[in-house]
Amino acid sequence: MSDDRPDIQTREDCERLVRAFYRRALHDPLIGWIFTDVAKLDLEEHVPTITSFWETMLLGARSYGGGAFAPHADLHFRSGGIRKPHFERWLILWRASVDELFAGDRAEEAKAHALRVGAAFHSRLQTLPTAEDVEAPAPPSGLTIIQHGPPRPDRA
Protein backbone atom coordinates (compact mmCIF):
# COMPACT_ATOMS: atom_id res chain seq x y z
CA MET A 1 0.00 0.00 0.00
CA SER A 2 1.43 3.35 -1.01
CA ASP A 3 1.28 6.41 1.22
CA ASP A 4 1.05 9.56 -0.85
CA ARG A 5 1.32 11.94 2.10
CA PRO A 6 4.47 14.06 1.83
CA ASP A 7 6.97 14.58 4.60
CA ILE A 8 7.37 17.98 6.28
CA GLN A 9 9.80 19.91 4.10
CA THR A 10 9.05 23.65 4.23
CA ARG A 11 7.85 26.45 6.49
CA GLU A 12 4.54 26.25 4.63
CA ASP A 13 4.26 22.60 5.67
CA CYS A 14 4.88 23.60 9.28
CA GLU A 15 2.17 26.24 9.03
CA ARG A 16 -0.31 23.76 7.53
CA LEU A 17 0.40 21.44 10.44
CA VAL A 18 0.00 24.19 13.05
CA ARG A 19 -3.30 25.32 11.53
CA ALA A 20 -4.59 21.73 11.33
CA PHE A 21 -3.76 21.30 15.02
CA TYR A 22 -5.55 24.49 16.06
CA ARG A 23 -8.63 23.56 14.01
CA ARG A 24 -8.91 20.59 16.36
CA ALA A 25 -7.64 22.12 19.59
CA LEU A 26 -9.73 25.30 19.66
CA HIS A 27 -12.95 23.27 19.64
CA ASP A 28 -11.78 20.43 21.85
CA PRO A 29 -13.92 19.99 24.99
CA LEU A 30 -10.93 19.20 27.22
CA ILE A 31 -8.38 21.81 26.14
CA GLY A 32 -10.15 24.27 23.86
CA TRP A 33 -11.06 26.60 26.74
CA ILE A 34 -7.37 27.05 27.60
CA PHE A 35 -6.81 28.59 24.17
CA THR A 36 -10.08 30.51 23.89
CA ASP A 37 -10.97 31.55 27.45
CA VAL A 38 -7.62 31.72 29.22
CA ALA A 39 -5.07 32.57 26.50
CA LYS A 40 -7.67 34.41 24.40
CA LEU A 41 -5.52 33.26 21.51
CA ASP A 42 -5.37 35.48 18.43
CA LEU A 43 -4.69 32.71 15.96
CA GLU A 44 -3.43 34.97 13.17
CA GLU A 45 -0.95 36.57 15.55
CA HIS A 46 0.11 33.24 17.10
CA VAL A 47 0.48 31.07 13.99
CA PRO A 48 3.69 32.72 12.68
CA THR A 49 5.37 32.31 16.08
CA ILE A 50 4.45 28.68 16.60
CA THR A 51 5.22 27.95 12.94
CA SER A 52 8.71 29.38 13.54
CA PHE A 53 9.06 27.11 16.58
CA TRP A 54 8.27 24.00 14.54
CA GLU A 55 10.30 25.20 11.55
CA THR A 56 13.28 25.55 13.90
CA MET A 57 12.71 22.16 15.54
CA LEU A 58 12.08 20.20 12.36
CA LEU A 59 13.95 22.04 9.63
CA GLY A 60 16.78 23.72 11.53
CA ALA A 61 15.71 27.15 10.29
CA ARG A 62 16.54 29.08 13.48
CA SER A 63 13.53 31.29 12.89
CA TYR A 64 12.26 30.95 16.47
CA GLY A 65 13.98 33.02 19.09
CA GLY A 66 11.51 33.02 21.95
CA GLY A 67 11.28 30.97 25.08
CA ALA A 68 8.51 28.41 24.74
CA PHE A 69 8.11 27.63 28.44
CA ALA A 70 7.22 31.06 29.87
CA PRO A 71 3.90 31.45 28.00
CA HIS A 72 2.87 27.97 29.14
CA ALA A 73 3.81 28.76 32.74
CA ASP A 74 1.59 31.84 32.53
CA LEU A 75 -1.31 29.75 31.19
CA HIS A 76 -0.75 27.19 33.92
CA PHE A 77 -0.93 29.95 36.54
CA ARG A 78 -4.05 31.62 35.10
CA SER A 79 -5.96 28.43 34.23
CA GLY A 80 -5.83 26.80 37.64
CA GLY A 81 -3.31 24.28 36.38
CA ILE A 82 -2.49 22.52 33.15
CA ARG A 83 -2.48 18.87 34.14
CA LYS A 84 -1.50 15.52 32.63
CA PRO A 85 -4.87 14.93 30.87
CA HIS A 86 -4.49 18.31 29.13
CA PHE A 87 -1.03 17.36 27.86
CA GLU A 88 -2.25 13.93 26.79
CA ARG A 89 -5.08 15.48 24.80
CA TRP A 90 -2.74 18.04 23.24
CA LEU A 91 -0.48 15.21 22.12
CA ILE A 92 -3.37 13.17 20.69
CA LEU A 93 -4.55 16.18 18.66
CA TRP A 94 -1.02 17.00 17.51
CA ARG A 95 -0.34 13.43 16.40
CA ALA A 96 -3.68 13.28 14.56
CA SER A 97 -2.82 16.52 12.78
CA VAL A 98 0.61 15.25 11.74
CA ASP A 99 -0.81 11.92 10.56
CA GLU A 100 -3.59 13.61 8.60
CA LEU A 101 -1.15 15.61 6.49
CA PHE A 102 2.30 14.06 6.55
CA ALA A 103 4.33 10.84 6.60
CA GLY A 104 8.06 10.41 6.79
CA ASP A 105 11.05 11.02 9.03
CA ARG A 106 10.25 14.64 9.85
CA ALA A 107 6.60 13.80 10.50
CA GLU A 108 7.77 11.17 12.98
CA GLU A 109 10.18 13.68 14.51
CA ALA A 110 7.30 16.18 14.90
CA LYS A 111 5.41 13.60 16.95
CA ALA A 112 8.47 12.54 18.96
CA HIS A 113 9.48 16.13 19.69
CA ALA A 114 5.94 16.97 20.82
CA LEU A 115 6.09 14.04 23.23
CA ARG A 116 9.43 15.23 24.65
CA VAL A 117 8.31 18.86 24.96
CA GLY A 118 4.97 17.90 26.49
CA ALA A 119 6.62 15.65 29.08
CA ALA A 120 9.20 18.29 30.00
CA PHE A 121 6.63 21.09 30.25
CA HIS A 122 4.25 18.93 32.30
CA SER A 123 7.00 18.03 34.73
CA ARG A 124 8.13 21.64 35.16
CA LEU A 125 4.61 23.07 35.44
CA GLN A 126 3.63 20.74 38.26
CA THR A 127 6.20 22.45 40.47
CA LEU A 128 4.67 25.91 39.90
CA PRO A 129 1.76 27.50 41.76
CA THR A 130 -1.51 28.44 40.12
CA ALA A 131 -3.54 31.59 40.76
CA GLU A 132 -5.80 29.48 43.01
CA ASP A 133 -2.78 28.49 45.11
CA VAL A 134 -1.58 32.07 45.47
CA GLU A 135 -5.01 33.55 46.18
CA ALA A 136 -6.08 30.86 48.64
CA PRO A 137 -6.45 32.30 52.12
CA ALA A 138 -3.81 31.25 54.57
CA PRO A 139 -4.99 28.85 57.25
CA PRO A 140 -5.44 30.46 60.66
CA SER A 141 -2.28 30.46 62.71
CA GLY A 142 -4.07 30.18 66.04
CA LEU A 143 -7.44 30.29 67.70
CA THR A 144 -9.59 33.19 66.58
CA ILE A 145 -12.55 34.23 68.69
CA ILE A 146 -15.30 36.11 66.97
CA GLN A 147 -18.03 37.68 69.07
CA HIS A 148 -21.46 38.02 67.51
CA GLY A 149 -24.10 40.34 68.90
CA PRO A 150 -23.85 43.01 71.58
CA PRO A 151 -21.14 42.67 74.24
CA ARG A 152 -22.20 40.71 77.29
CA PRO A 153 -22.19 42.78 80.53
CA ASP A 154 -19.94 40.29 82.30
CA ARG A 155 -17.27 40.61 79.52
CA ALA A 156 -17.28 44.38 79.07
CATH of the domain at 102: 1.10.490.10
Phi-psi region of 142 (alpha: psi -120 to 50; beta: other; left: phi over 0): beta
* pLDDT at residue 152, as a whole number: 58
Taking residues 12-31, report their average pLDDT: 98
Whether the predicted model's global pTM rises above the 0.85 cut: no
> What percent of the chain clears pLDDT 90, i.e. is strictly above it?
62
* Average model confidence (pLDDT) across the chain: 87
Percentage above 70 pLDDT, the chain: 84
Residue 144 lies in a domain: no
Residue 97 lies in a domain: yes
- Tell which residue, 90, 25, 102, has the closest CA to residue 58: 102
| Whether the predicted pLDDT of 123 surpasses 70 | yes
In a domain, 150, yes or no: no
**Structural domain boundaries, residue 72:** 11-136
The count of domains in the chain is 1
Average pLDDT rounded to a whole number, residues 84-95: 96
